[in-house]
Structure 1
Amino acid sequence: MGEEVIIRKVKVEDAQSVLSLMYKLDRESKFMLLEPEERTTTLEQQIQIIQSYKDSQNKVMYVLTNDDKALGFVDGIGNTANRNKHCMSLVIGLVQAISGQGFGKKLLNNLEGWAIPHGYSRLELTVMQHNERAKRLYESCGFKVEGLKRNSLVIDGKYVDELYMAKLLIG
């Protein structure tokens, strides 16, 4: 990619680009949750979603962008009950054209940099057991496998297991 690629917090002006990214990821990857054509989010809904992140203390989204279009994202949503409000679940996605260039690690580092001062000491995610590339990324960032979620998804008519992974940020 010739353009400069940056990571920054999502802005309302990114709504169309982020929505296009989500639809693209649905089409090009079987590792995301939604199948092609399953997503029904409208531009208006995407704008509302992004607005809900503004000044939030329990959720954040970073986008990887060349300021023309979003190429990746990481989304962190924290729990709110007293007993688990230190835990944040995350989802990450990158277009295939830029995978393997270190952007996933940079996105995760940005999320972690936001999570710690906002009181989060645990990041959590699930990953399909056969997604070796993603597992390597998460492990290289300090995530550990904590459990197996058997038959948690159905892809192409077959059951797929997911791994629970987490990273302790403090203590």
Structure 2
Amino acid sequence: MPEPSAPRIRAARPEDAEALALVDRLTWSPLHAVMPEPEPPYRPFFDERHRAENHLVAELDGRVVGYVRLGLPTSLACNAHVRQIQGLAVLDEGRGRGVGRALVRAAVEEARGQGARRITLRVLGHNTPARRLYASEGFVVEGVLPEEFLLGGEYVDDVFMGRAL
């Protein structure tokens, strides 16, 4: 039996929009989403705020299986040294194959390459797998907004994590 291939990470292109929108829909879960489950008509994946150049794409065997969105936390010049992971999604077929880890590492390297000094993210308190992944990549909890969201009848913390670059 052949070894499973390693994920390939690359910059997103405008023509990835449909595949990335599908990843978004197929991975929607109350474990990580505060927005309602997407329903038709679906919004475009790329828009003025979330452009192709803000995304890195993971491929396995030439197929898009995930992405990470990297952006500025604010539009303030005094905050331009910080990048923020603003979304990460991996299809089931990519789970357990190092795709999420490869995307986080690629986002860190991309942030460094853009001259950032820090990288941050927000993750829901009940998303233990994501929190474990981020912690294993050097992110630490920098703050918690207790019971910030009411999801499925449960109050959920909003956890801020970050690390130096």
Q: Normalization by structure 1: what TM-score?
A: 0.80
Structure 2 matches for 1:47-126, cutoff 5 A? 47-48=46-47, 52-54=51-53, 60-66=54-60, 69-78=63-72, 79-90=74-85, 91-126=87-122
**2:19 corresponding residue in structure 1:** 17
**Partner-residue secondary structure (3-state), 2:143:** strand
Identity among equivalent positions (%) equals 24
Whether the aligned pair in 1 keeps the contact of 2:81 and 2:118 (CA below 8 Å) is: yes
TM-score, normalised to structure 2, is 0.83
1:57 equivalent in structure 2? none
Structure 1: gaps of 5 or more residues: 55-59
- Match for residue 129 of structure 2 among 127, 133, 150: 133
Find the aligned partners of 2:112 and 2:76 in 1 and give their Cα distance. 18
Point out the more displaced range, 12-21 or 30-39.
30-39
User: How far did 1:33 drift?
Assistant: 3.1
Q: Tell me, yes or no, if the aligned pair for 1:12 and 1:50 is still in contact at 8 Å.
A: no
Segments of structure 2 that go 5 or more residues without pairing to the other structure are none
SS in 2 for 1:23: helix
Paired residues of 2:123 and 2:131 also in contact (CA < 8 A): yes
Deviation sequence 1:72-101 (CA, Å, 0-9, x none) = 111011143221111111121112332232
Is this contact kept in 2: 1:15–1:50, CA < 8 A? no
Point out which structure has higher relative CO (alpha carbons under 8 A, 6+ apart).
2
Q: CA RMSD in A?
A: 2.6
| CA-CA distance at 1:32 after TM superposition | 2.6
